[in-house]
Chains A and B, each alone.
Chain A
């Protein structure tokens, strides 16, 4: 683990066993398979991939909300250091204060029967961070104004709010216990574009103010390009490429990253249909292809790709890729 890492993931695998079988071993979903990555302190780390690529499971494993099959996750801030794959109950309780999650759907994430004040205050009360009601109210008011929520809104119920306001409420709830590390899982995917821009700007300003580290999970490369410093691309449970944002978008090295980038529809009507199209669909994670997992859809694939998994290697400073041809 390097000095500047906040989270360090080493050879992490998360496997889910599907049901039971009378004979032989039951099928196993390899949701995350031998992933290693470093999330630097204070960074905005983007994790992209199609549905079924394992990005959410990886995020949840880091939060200790998914079981770790093998491998290691290390957490370090200036006060504590935890080995999350082997953590005591008391430490885990403390870790829950330090790491928080912002959900995707602001309509499903807020209880309709609690006022906004109670929703934001709940983590403080549950974790016993504040002792008196007055103290709780102070914290709630402080974070609410940081998230640009009107203070008179605190007495209302979630149904009175639009999607953008609700997402600001769920961000306030995630940040009220001053976490050092925040996972935002598709936090703008359910929002309209005009509101999405507003929430992205809010996250950016909060990060400057609170100095947290963010893991931003998204399928939308345009959003990730705008907000993240570093981006990692996942495919079928493995990392295929990771690089500083600019380097990834100007010089994608893995064929999958290239295909993802060119599949983004252009806003210019004059550049229609010039995309390099990816054939087929993502294979099942129960029976992933042998060798390089991407070879079934890759235009460069050769015999070697079918048998031999490519190694993760560094191309240039901070830019790593897993492909035989990169």
Chain B
């Protein structure tokens, strides 16, 4: 069942230096019980996309005219971008959608106990009494593997270790029983051994609560271990989508291929690392045509710098936005050699 539909999301920011495109015509769907991975380097627009699902972007954000985000709940369909008052927004901010952030130390209030913060959001989003909310919070802390949960409930964020804080964050996000969980680089700040623990926990919880997760990361191997489907973003556009096997084992877009080639691999220590040529262009100098053509090894002048490629179907559920995959491309090659 489709829970969340994003259609033609277009988002620009008004800044002193001009209007900057952050998200450009992004569409995707999220089904219940599914983990969708959103991969991209810094500046690719993945966090901004996630924040627009909760209508959390700052006031200088300008949504394009055709942008639509729908959240399908049991009773009704919520048009997220039309929500205005804080009462209406409650449903996407912690109600049906919850979010886990990268840096748990920065997302907990430092001067309020973990427990008080968990109870506060439960009081806003449910009809529980204060006592019931406290009971549920302790239960959730226990559920995510925090020892002595009752004791931790009265502690402050600084008293917990990094891994423990991220667990508390997950407990807090899940206690309102959201339909959609947005996880924005949830393990990036953690050590590998703790990362493995947290990823396991998240997988268990998806199975148990049956919610959908939008998993944002720059690490393709974390995606390989968690996601069902993947969308690869670059400069605000989705360049490739598909199941995790399709995208990682048979990447079609030159950017996805480049990302995979630049990863150091433990089973191929002798192979040289091949970085993607050049640097990410500044958002103020957004390339015309295909956004990736300035760094693409396949780019053809006159084609890739002229028009924007659509997502082209490769296999069932696997699409990539690249002219090199189309029939016309080989026609051009033939014409040029002829």
Assembly CA distance A197 to B265 (angstroms)? 11
Query: Is B163 interfacial (CB 8 A cutoff)?
Result: yes
- Quick one: given A193-B218, A194-B259, A195-B279, are A226 and B273 in contact (CB under 8 Å)? yes
A192 touches B41 (CB 8 A): yes
- Quick one: given A192-B42, A264-B266, A265-B225, are A50 and B193 in contact (CB under 8 Å)? yes
A269 touches B196 (CB 8 A): no
B221 touches A225 (CB 8 A): no
Query: Is A277 interfacial (CB 8 A cutoff)?
Result: yes
Query: Chain A nearest CB: distance from B35 CB in Å?
Result: 12
Query: Is A70 interfacial (CB 8 A cutoff)?
Result: no
> Which B residues from 239 to 283 make CB contacts under 8 A with A?
244-245, 248-249, 258-266, 269, 272-276, 279-280, 282
Q: B282 — which chain A residues lie within 8 A by C-beta?
A: 162
Query: Is B79 interfacial (CB 8 A cutoff)?
Result: no
A265 touches B195 (CB 8 A): yes
Assembly CA distance A163 to B203 (angstroms)? 33
Query: Chain B nearest CB: distance from A281 CB in Å?
Result: 5
Query: Is B174 interfacial (CB 8 A cutoff)?
Result: no
B221 touches A264 (CB 8 A): yes
Query: Chain B nearest CB: distance from A260 CB in Å?
Result: 6
B225 touches A266 (CB 8 A): yes
Query: Is A309 interfacial (CB 8 A cutoff)?
Result: no
Which of B41, B258, B262, B276 gathers the greatest number of chain A CB atoms within 10 Å?
A: B262
A51 touches B191 (CB 8 A): yes
B162 touches A197 (CB 8 A): no
Taken residue by residue from 85 to 111, chain B's Cβ proximity to chain A (1 for < 8 Å, 0 otherwise) reads as: 000000000000000000000000000
Query: Is B22 interfacial (CB 8 A cutoff)?
Result: no
- Quick one: given A193-B263, A281-B164, are A219 and B245 in contact (CB under 8 Å)? no
- Quick one: given A193-B218, A201-B273, are A259 and B193 in contact (CB under 8 Å)? yes
Which of A193, A261, A273 gathers the greatest number of chain B CB atoms within 10 Å?
A: A193
Query: Chain A nearest CB: distance from B239 CB in Å?
Result: 14
B262 touches A263 (CB 8 A): no
B224 touches A194 (CB 8 A): no
B262 touches A197 (CB 8 A): yes
Query: Chain A nearest CB: distance from B156 CB in Å?
Result: 17
Number of interface residues of B (CB under 8 A): 45
B269 touches A272 (CB 8 A): no
Provide the main secondary structure of the chain B interface. helix
Partner of B224, one of A192, A266, A281: A266
Assembly CA distance A194 to B161 (angstroms)? 31
Partner of B221, one of A197, A246, A265: A265
Assembly CA distance A192 to B44 (angstroms)? 11
Q: A275 — which chain B residues lie within 8 A by C-beta?
A: 196
> Which A residues from 264 to 323 make CB contacts under 8 A with B?
264-270, 272-273, 275, 277-278, 281-282
Query: Is B222 interfacial (CB 8 A cutoff)?
Result: yes
A273 touches B262 (CB 8 A): no
- Quick one: given A219-B192, A264-B192, A269-B224, are A200 and B264 in contact (CB under 8 Å)? yes
Query: Is A157 interfacial (CB 8 A cutoff)?
Result: no
> Which A residues from 34 to 53 make CB contacts under 8 A with B?
50-51
Beyond A221-B192, A269-B249: 10 further Cβ-contacts under 8 Å?
A: A162-B279, A197-B263, A197-B275, A221-B266, A225-B266, A246-B269, A267-B265, A269-B224, A277-B196, A281-B164
Interface residues of chain B, those whose CB is within 8 Å of chain A, are 41-42, 161-164, 191-197, 199-200, 203, 218-222, 224-225, 244-245, 248-249, 258-266, 269, 272-276, 279-280, 282
Interface residues of chain A, those whose CB is within 8 Å of chain B, are 50-51, 162-165, 192-198, 200-201, 219, 221-223, 225-226, 245-246, 249, 259-261, 263-270, 272-273, 275, 277-278, 281-282
28 A-B pairs in the complex with CB atoms less than 8 angstroms apart: A193-B219, A193-B220, A194-B259, A194-B275, A194-B276, A195-B279, A200-B264, A201-B272, A222-B264, A222-B266, A225-B264, A225-B266, A226-B273, A245-B269, A246-B269, A261-B266, A264-B192, A264-B266, A265-B221, A265-B225, A267-B220, A267-B221, A267-B263, A268-B248, A273-B225, A281-B161, A281-B164, A282-B191
